[in-house]
């Protein structure tokens, strides 16, 4: 594993793998605990950039502390590292407590996969979004290296198909979902229920977590989600973009 570049040393130390104040147990009872995904899904090797970001090692420790209690999982995330997201999804699926997922505003990209860790059906309000698309990466190198990355992305996509296929609405085929992914599709709660087994919840007023880099890699972001101010300032955006670049480079090694 490469040594983290200096820009990443300002991030949460992944070796400590704590969930941070934002992810401390909220509304914990004797039988249940709340878990929030309100930021980016990031890799263990550089850790969380903001309190809201999350990575697999921290989730593993969080689940160990939860000790089998039921989980209420709240999602408002545009996604992030596909490999980190798959790892988190698998951890949640193995977790013995009941999982109830609520998409508060956005479950985009790999966060849409995490939403299906629900023990039954995730709840998506009629004005919240599920965004699905083909996995992507930034890669440089020679022809052999580029083909290797393309093969890796194909393999990752096949794994995502398998997860989505377990949660299809009656009469929907995975071929239809593949077409939606190819087109990068943003589904509100009502639309999502046409393709997946989800519960449609009542409208809420939570703003979707559409970060600047989400706007960079997504082409069909609903206009209503673009009208608000970005969460991060200019300096933070520049650092985040650099981190994305470094993470993508790490994926190709």
For 218-248, letters b (16+ CB in 10 Å) and e give beebeeebeeeeebbeeeebebbeebbebbb
By percentage, how much of the chain surpasses pLDDT 90?
53
Q: How far is CA 105 from the centre of its chain?
A: 13
Among the listed residues 92, 120, 85, the one whose alpha carbon sits nearest the alpha carbon of residue 33: 92
pLDDT at 3: 39
The answer to whether residue 174 is domain-embedded is: yes
The least confident of 31-35, 41-45, 125-129 is: 41-45
181 in a structural domain = yes
Query: Is position 214 within any domain?
Result: no
Position 23 in a domain: yes
Burial of 92 (0-12, 13-18, 19+ CB in 10 A): buried
Among 68-82, 110-124, 158-172, 196-210, name the one with the lowest average pLDDT.
196-210
Residue 56: inside a domain, yes or no? yes
Query: What is the count of structural domains for the chain?
Result: 1
pTM across the whole model: 0.77
Q: By CB neighbour count within 10 A (0-12 exposed, 13-18 middle, 19+ buried), where does 140 fall?
A: exposed
In a domain, 33, yes or no: yes
HSE of 52, CA atoms in CB hemisphere, 13 A: 15
User: Kind of pairing, strands 185-188 and 129-132?
Assistant: antiparallel
211 pLDDT higher than 80: no
The answer as to whether 1 is a domain residue is no
Q: Assign residue 107 the CATH number of its domain.
A: 3.90.226.10
Query: Of 157, 186, 190, which Cα lies nearest the Cα of 174?
Result: 157
pLDDT 10s digits, 110-123 = 999 999 999 999 99
- Residue 168 structural domain: 6-209+219-251
Whether residue 41 lies inside any domain: the answer is yes
What per-residue confidence (pLDDT) applies to 1?
A: 38
- pLDDT band for 222, please (50, 70, 90 cuts): confident
Query: Does the structure show a pLDDT above 50 at 227?
Result: yes
């Amino acid at each position: 594993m490469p040594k983290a570049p200096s820009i990443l040393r300002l991030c949460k130390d992944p070796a400590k793998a704590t969930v941070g104040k934002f992810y401390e147990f909220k509304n914990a009872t004797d039988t249940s605990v709340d878990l929030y995904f309100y930021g980016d899904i990031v890799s263990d090797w550089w850790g969380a950039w903001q309190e809201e970001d999350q990575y697999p090692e921290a989730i593993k420790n969080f689940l160990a502390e939860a000790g089998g209690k039921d989980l209420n999982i709240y999602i408002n995330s545009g996604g992030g590292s596909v490999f980190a997201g798959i790892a988190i999804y698998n951890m949640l699926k193995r977790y013995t407590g009941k999982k109830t997922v609520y998409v508060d505003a956005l479950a985009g990209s790999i966060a849409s996969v995490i939403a299906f860790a629900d023990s039954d059906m995730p709840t998506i309000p009629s004005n919240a979004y599920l965004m699905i698309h083909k996995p992507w990466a930034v890669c440089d190198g020679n022809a052999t290296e580029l083909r290797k990355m393309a093969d890796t992305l194909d393999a990752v996509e096949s794994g995502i198909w398998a997860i989505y296929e377990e949660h299809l609405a009656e009469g929907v085929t995975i071929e239809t979902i593949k077409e939606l992914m190819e087109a990068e599709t943003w589904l509100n709660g009502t639309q999502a229920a046409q393709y997946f087994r989800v519960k449609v919840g009542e409208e809420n007023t939570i703003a979707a977590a559409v970060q600047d880099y989400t706007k960079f890699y997504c082409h069909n972001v609903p206009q209503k989600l673009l009208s608000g101010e970005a969460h991060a300032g200019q300096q933070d955006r520049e650092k985040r973009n650099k981190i994305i670049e470094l993470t993508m480079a790490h994926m190709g090694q």
